[in-house]
Amino acid sequence: MAKIAVLFADGFEESESLTIVDILRRAGMESLVVGVTGKEVMGAHDINVQADVQLSEVSVDEMDMVVVPGGYVGVDALMYSQDALQFISDMNEAGKFVTAICAGPRVLDRAGVLDGKRYTCYPGQEEKIKEGLFEEAIVLRDGNLITSRGPATCYAFAYALVDALGGDSLAVKNKMVYFNAFNEASSHLEESPDHVDVPEKAAKVAVLMKEGYEEGETFSIVDIMRRLGAECTTFYFDETPWVRGMHGMMIQADEKFGDKIEEYDAVVLPGGRPGGPNLIADQDLMAMLKRWDKTPGKILSALCFGTRALAAAGVIEGKHMTGYTGYDQFLTGAIFETKVAVADQNLVSSQGPATGYPFAFKLAEALGYDTRIVRSRLMYDYAGGILG
């Protein structure tokens, strides 16, 4: 089994980092969340993750690959960590895979592994890199070096890592319905507007975290909502705010599910097993969804298995919606569509693990946000992102 060290430092980009770990684990690989700045690592958008191990516990001999995520603060922390730089250099000297995304190639440059190598990175970061040969590409491989450009290219990047390690990325893509959300053949650079109007009052979005939730899709949604300026809060249900996801990641939720959720404008039900079934089994949640369905101004939203929780609550009758492949048989009473994301009346729905981005954009638009600037910064259009 391939073994990968994904380096997490305070300020890391959550949506890309957690998605990479998620995809590698789906492919059956041992992908470790390696804490560089501590056992608990806080992301750029205030998502707190518990590392599996700290860097001092990781041996180059045991690893097949190192991954350096983006995030400007996280990248700076890695660039000034002599232990991280030495580990990356040693991995390169040993002929192991050295990989990075977004601003991460700056760390590789500081570690001295880009000399004579072709690489790509987030737009403008190449101006801060002294060595290497920059090329524009969604993902670029040169020998043992694999690089990519930005948060929304993390899917293509992670699949390339799977292939490099001898895995079957196509099988993972199909299970994640990647091709429903991305078409790399139609990728293009979208010019970002200078200014967009935002709601006078920040929308309040509640994201529910039951044991076994889908980590990648859940936190891409939280990440995007917070980038837009929404007040996005994650809710836990058991005694501890540390909730284990479907792929074993331990991530800290913000608030305990209870009366406070009534202050929110929208609720998000992610997928995952047993996360989705655990949502359905919660009678207080089912009652809340029924109540919200009758409350003007409240938005019910879900993707993947979460759409089945909406069906179990009886709030989908006569509404247009979508869901995971084959879910039309479970979403009875709704008008099922095969689009990647659908908004109708008070309901927003999407399909599966790789559709967290278009789902978040569709929900944001329903809440009155213009998503163009954030889509551009995330490089979603460049990655071939599909919106409808």
Angle (CA) 93 83 39, round 5°: 125
What residue numbers bound the domain in which 223 lies?
A: 204-378
pTM over 0.85: yes
Instruction: Identify the residue whose tokens are 């109540």.
Output: 291
In contact, 189 and 174? CB cutoff 8 Å: no
State residue 388's pLDDT score. 77
Burial class (CB in 10 A: 0-12, 13-18, 19+), 380: buried
CA distances from 157 to 102, 118, 386 (A): 10, 15, 18
CA distance 176 to 325: 10
Active-site residues, by number, are 102
- Across the chain, mean pLDDT equals 96
Domain identity same for 167 and 208: no
- Which of 154, 175, 196 delimits the end of a domain? 175
State residue 192's pLDDT score. 79
DSSP annotation string for 12-36: --HHHHHHHHHHHHHTT-EEEEEES
CB neighbour burial string for 157-166, b if at least 16 within 10 angstroms, e if fewer: bbbbbbbbbe
Domain identity same for 348 and 219: yes
Domain identity same for 157 and 81: yes
State residue 302's pLDDT score. 98
183 contacts: CB under 8 Å, gap ≥ 6? 384, 386
Q: How many helices (H) and strands (E) does the chain have?
A: 13, 22
Structure tokens at 66: 């190192």
State residue 200's pLDDT score. 85
State residue 187's pLDDT score. 83
Domain identity same for 17 and 130: yes
Domain identity same for 157 and 221: no
State residue 210's pLDDT score. 97
CA distances from 206 to 4, 194, 209, 260, 278 (A): 33, 29, 10, 10, 17
Residue 189 resides in a domain: no
CA distance 275 to 346: 23
Residue 388 resides in a domain: no
| Spans of the chain below 70 pLDDT | none
Q: At 252, phi and psi to the nearest 5?
A: -85, 125
For a pLDDT cut of 90, what percent of the chain falls above it?
Answer: 95
> Which helix (H) or strand (E) covers residue 300, if one does?
strand 299-303
